[in-house]
Amino acid sequence: MLDIRGLAASIYDKPILNGIDLTVPPGEVHAVMGPNGAGKSTLGYVLSGREDYEVTAGTVTFNGTDLLAMEPEQRAAAGVFLAFQAPIELPGVNNANFLRTALNAIRRAHSEPELDAVQFLKLARAETKRLAMPDDMLKRNVNVGFSGGEKKRNEVLQMAILRPKLAILDETDSGLDIDALKIVAEGVNAQRRPDFSALVITHHQRLLDYLVPNRVHVLLNGRIVRSGGPELAKELEKSGYANLIAEAA
Amino acid sequence: MAAVTETLDTVQSVTQSGYKWGFETSIEMDFAPKGLNEDIIRLISARKEEPEWMLEWRLKAYAAWLKMEEPQWARVDHPPIDYQDLHYYAAPKKKAGPKSLDEVDPELLKMYEKLGIPLKERAILAGVDPDTVENTQIAVDAVFDSVSVATTFQTTLRKAGVIFCPISEAVREHPDLVKQYLGTVVPTGDNFFAALNSAVFTDGSFVFIPKGVRCPMELSTYFRINARNTGQFERTLIIAEAGSHVSYLEGCTAPQRDENQLHAAVVELVAMDDAQIKYSTVQNWYPGDSNGKGGIYNFVTKRGACRGARSKISWTQVETGSAITWKYPSCVLHGEDSVGEFYSVAVTNNHQQADTGTKMIHIGKGSSSTIISKGISAGHSNNTYRGLVRMLPSASNARNFTQCDSLLIGDQCGAHTVPYIESRNLTAKVEHEATTSKIADDQLFYCRQRGLSEEDAVSLIVNGFCKDVLKQLPMEFAVEAQKLLAVSLEGSVG
C-alpha cells in the first residue's frame, strides 16, 4: 500500500528527514514514535503534500502511484487522510457543508455521483452516532470554538466520513483524557478493513493500548532507527528514548 | 507562502477575461452633445417631457454644483474627471421609453437575455401580457443608459396599489408624490455627486407602497451602462407609507472599456410608521482590467429616512465591481424605536479601490442600528470601511452595534477601517468590533488535504467570512451573490 524509500525532506533549507524507509502493507496499523523534533509531523506533512516542505531525495509509492507527484487534493482523492495535530479553524464554514464539499470533491474524482444534502446528512449522522458525538458537531463552524478534545474528535469524524485508504494520525492522542482517547482509538479501529492502513504518530504508548499496531517504528533525527512489534512501544515507555539517542550518537 | 505567491500571479492574469458581462450591444443611440451646461439640462428635461417645476429643480441643483468641489477625503485615487467630456444623455433610438413591452428593440432583449436577468420577460418582452406569465415573483425595471426600457408586472402591482415605474414617468404621472418627497432625504446640495445627479439624472425607479400594503413581490431594477463616454445618473425614490413592507433589489453591469465611465446615482428611501424597506444591491460594474485600466467610477449617495415610529430600513450590499466605489448607504433614524441596518460585503481585486460604509444618524428615542461590514481585498487593491455613528442629544437609549471584518488575500492589498463615533446622549450605547485576518496557508492546506481544490477552498472560506451578510439577501440573489464572489476572486488564491 504505502512504500517509502530513502525519503529526505527539508523546510527552508533545513533538513528534517534524512532517508526514511518504511512500508505499510494493506490492512495494517503502524505506529511512528520518537522524541520531539525527530521529524514525525514532517513525515505526515510530506506524505500529504504540504508545500513548505521540499523533498530532496527518495520516493513514495501509494497503491502503485507516485504520491510525491500529486497535488494535496489529488492525494486526498487517492485516499490519503491526515488528522492534524492542531486542526485548523474555518470561521463561518459549517462543518457539514465543509465535509459534504470535501466528500463530493473526492467522489467526483472517482466519477461517483455526488451526494445531496439529505443523503449526506443521513451518512454523517450515522457516523456521529457511532462515534458518540453530539449531532450539533455537524452544525458548528469547522473547529471554531471547539475544545482541544472536540477538535481531535472532529478529525476522527471527518476520517470516518471520508473513508480514506491511508490515515495518518499526527498526535491525535495529545491532550486527550482517557475517555476521549478511547473514542479516537475506537474510531480508527472501526475503519480497520483489508484495504485500510494507518500511520499513527504518537509520543506515548497509551494510545497503543487501545489501538494496537502491527508494527512500531522509532524515528530519530529524521531516520527510523528501530522497528518492532507492539512490545517495542511498551519497552520505550519504560526506558524512554535516552538509550536510543545514545546509540545513535 | 508558495500558495500566496502563486495566487498573486494568477490574480494578475485573470481579470481581463474574468468579467463575463463586458460585451457591448450595438443599438442606434440618441446622444446629447458632450458637455454640461444649462442647455443640456433643458434638453434632458425636454426629452423627458418634464413639467416646469422639475426643470427649475434641476437648474437649482446645477447652480449649487457649480460652486462645489469633488470630495477629497475618501481613500481613493484617480486622475481628474473631465465633466465636460461626457454625454449626459444617451437613449436607444427609435422609441425613448416604449409605451408597451412589445415595442422594445429586439437587440435590447438579446442583451437582457445574455445578462440573464429574470426578465421572464423574454416572453413578456416579446409581447405576452406579463400578468399571464406565472412562476416568477420579481417585478423588474430595466434601465439602459439614460432610459428605462421595460417595467414588468405593472398590472399586478397596480392592483395592490403599488406604484413601480420609471422615475421619469412618475414625474409626469404622479407629480404630487414626487414633489413631496424628491430631495427630502438627499437634498440637491448634499454633496458634489448628489448635486450633479440632481441636475442631470435621467432615469431610475420610483416606488410607492400605500398604507398597510405588503408589496406582493420583490421589486428589482437592473442598470446597464452601454454607451461610450456616457455617465449614468439614475435616481431612485422609494416611499413606504405607514405599515407597509417592500423588498427591493438592484443589479448593475457595464461593458468592458478601456476608458473610465462615471456612475453617480442617488437613492432616497422614506419609511413612515411601522413601515419596512429592505434594499439589496448586487453591484457588478466593470472593475477595469488587471492593470487597473478602465472600469466604472461609482460615486453613489444612498440614504434612507426612518421618519415614522418603529420604521425599519435595511441596506444589504454585495459590491464586487467598479474601479472605484465611493458609497455610504445611510439611515437617518428620526422615528422613535426606528431601526437601521447595514450589511455589506465589498470585494476588491487587482487595482480596484473601494471606500464604502454607512452612516447611522440616531435622532429618535430608542432607535437602534446594526452595521456588519465584511471587506475582502486581493491583488493590489485597497478596501476601506468608513462609517459614522452619530447619537444626537434626543436619542435617549439609542443603540448601535458595529462589526467590521477584513479579509486579506495576498500581501500587496490593503484593508482600512475608519469608524467615526459621536455620542451626545449619555444613555446611548455604541459598540464597535473590528478584526483583520488573512486566508492562511494552513487553512488552504487543510481544505485541500480534505480533497477541495484551491479555488473551492477560497470560495468556501470567503463565503464563510461573508455568511452573516449573504443570509440577509433574498434567496435567489444570495445564490447569485455567492457565484459572483467566486468569479470576482477567481484565481486570487487557490
Single out the residue of A151, A166, A150, A138 nearest to residue A62, CA to CA: A166
Whether the pLDDT of residue B491 is over 90: the answer is no
More confident residue, B264 or B490: B264
Cβ atoms of B224 and B144 closer than 8 Å: yes
Does residue B324 register a pLDDT over 90?
no
Q: What average pLDDT is seen over chain B?
A: 80
CB B110 within 8 Å of CB B25: yes
| Chain A residues within an 8 Å CB radius of B448 | 49, 71-73, 76
Residue B493 placed within a domain: no
**What is the ipTM metric for this complex?**
0.95
What is the rounded CA–CA span in Å between residue B13 and residue B211? 53
pLDDT of the residue at B289? 75
How many structural domains comprise chain B? Answer: 1
**Pick from B253, B395, B404: nearest CA to B333:** B395
In a mutational test of the B interface, the residue from A42, A45, A51 whose CB has the highest number of chain B CBs within 10 Å is: A51
Condensed to tens digits (0 to 9), the pLDDT of residues B325-339 reads: 889 999 999 999 999
Provide the 3-class DSSP secondary structure of residue B455: helix
Nearest to B450 among A52, A97, A162 (CB): A162
- Which residues sit opposite B90 in a β-bridge? B31
Distance CA A14, CA A155 (A): 29
Region of residue A166 (phi > 0: left; psi between -120 and 50: alpha; otherwise: beta): beta
Cβ of residue A110 closer than 8 Å to a chain B Cβ = no
Task: Check: CB of residue B203 under 8 Å from CB of residue B148.
Answer: yes
Q: What is the pLDDT of residue B234?
A: 86
Q: What is the pLDDT of residue B16?
A: 36
B363 — pLDDT class (breaks 50, 70, 90): very high
Residue B494 included in any domain: no
CA diameter of chain A: 58
What gap in Å lies between CA B390 and CA B192, rounded to an integer?
22
Q: Domain range for residue B74? A: 2-488
B394 touches chain A (CB under 8 A): no
Helix (H, G, I), strand (E, B) or coil at A158: helix
DSSP A108-138: HHTTPPPP-HHHHHHHHHHHHHHTT--THHH
Give chain A's length: 249
In chain B, residues with a C-beta closer than 8 Å to the C-beta of A157 are: none
Annotate B41-107 with three-state secondary structure. HHHHHHHCCCCHHHHHHHHHHHHHHHCCCCCCCCCCCCCCCCHHHCECCEEECCCCCCCCHHHCCHH
User: pLDDT tens digits for B189-241?
Assistant: 899 999 999 999 988 889 999 999 999 888 888 766 655 556 778 899 999 99
Which stretches in chain A have pLDDT values below 50? Answer: none
A93 and B466 within 8 Å at the Cβ level: the answer is no
Which carries the bigger pLDDT value, residue B349 or residue B328? B328
pLDDT digits (tens, 9 = 90+) for A133-154: 888 889 999 999 998 888 998 9
> Using one digit for the tens of pLDDT, what is the confidence trace for B368-380?
999 999 998 888 8
CATH class of A2-248: alpha beta
DSSP state of B32: P
Residue burial A107-132, b: 16+ Cβ < 10 Å; e: rest? eeeeeeeebeeeebeebbeebbeebe
What distance in Å separates the CA atoms of residue B227 and residue B26, rounded to the nearest whole number?
9
Nearest to A76 among B450, B464, B465 (CB): B450
The residue to which cell 522497528 is assigned: A227
User: According to the model, what pLDDT value does residue B123 have?
Assistant: 41
- Distance of alpha carbon B360 from its chain centroid, rounded? 18
pLDDT class of B97 with cuts at 50, 70, 90 = very low
Three-state SS for B201?
A: coil
Q: Which element (helix H / strand E) includes B251? A: strand B245-253
Please, are residues B241 and B211 in contact by the beta-carbon 8 Å criterion?
yes
Q: Which residues of B touch A78 (CB under 8 A)?
A: none
Nearby residues of A207 by Cβ (< 8 Å), 6 or more positions away: A172, A173, A181, A184, A185, A200
The whole-number pLDDT of residue B263 equals 83
Residue B96: is its pLDDT beyond 50? Answer: no
Which residue, B154, B94, B152, B96, is CA-closest to B125? Answer: B152
Does residue A70 sit at the B interface (CB-CB below 8 Å)? no
- pLDDT (0 to 100) of residue A176: 83
Name residue, grid cell 441596506.
Answer: B315
- pLDDT tens profile B99-153: 455 555 666 666 656 555 544 444 443 333 344 334 345 566 666 655 555 566 7
**pLDDT, tens digit (0-9, with 9 covering 90-100), for B59-74:** 999 999 999 988 888 8
Ramachandran bin of B355, using left for φ above 0, alpha for ψ from -120 to 50, beta for the remaining angles = beta
Question: Is residue B90 predicted with pLDDT exceeding 80?
Answer: no
Instruction: Compare B151 and B87 and report the one with higher pLDDT.
Output: B87
Q: Give the DSSP letter string of A65-94.
A: EEGGGS-HHHHHHHTEEEE-SSPPP-TT-B
Is the per-residue pLDDT at B474 higher than 80?
Answer: no
Q: Are A98 and A91 in contact (CB under 8 A)?
A: no
pLDDT the model gives residue B2: 37
Q: What is the mean pLDDT of chain A?
A: 92
Per-residue pLDDT of B386-442, as tens digits, reads 999 999 999 999 999 999 999 888 888 888 899 999 999 999 999 999 888 888 788
Pairing state between β B138-144 and B147-151 = antiparallel
B41 contacts B200 by C-beta, under 8 angstroms: yes
pLDDT at B222: 74
CB contacts < 8 A (A, B): 84
Which pLDDT band, with edges at 50, 70 and 90, does B290 fall under?
confident
**Three-state SS for A30?**
strand
Residue numbers in B near A95 (CB within 8 A): none
> Is residue B163 pLDDT above 70, yes or no?
yes
Q: Is residue B383 part of a domain?
A: yes
Q: Cα–Cα distance between A168 and A48 in angstroms, integer?
A: 9
CA dist B487 and B493 (Å) reads: 12
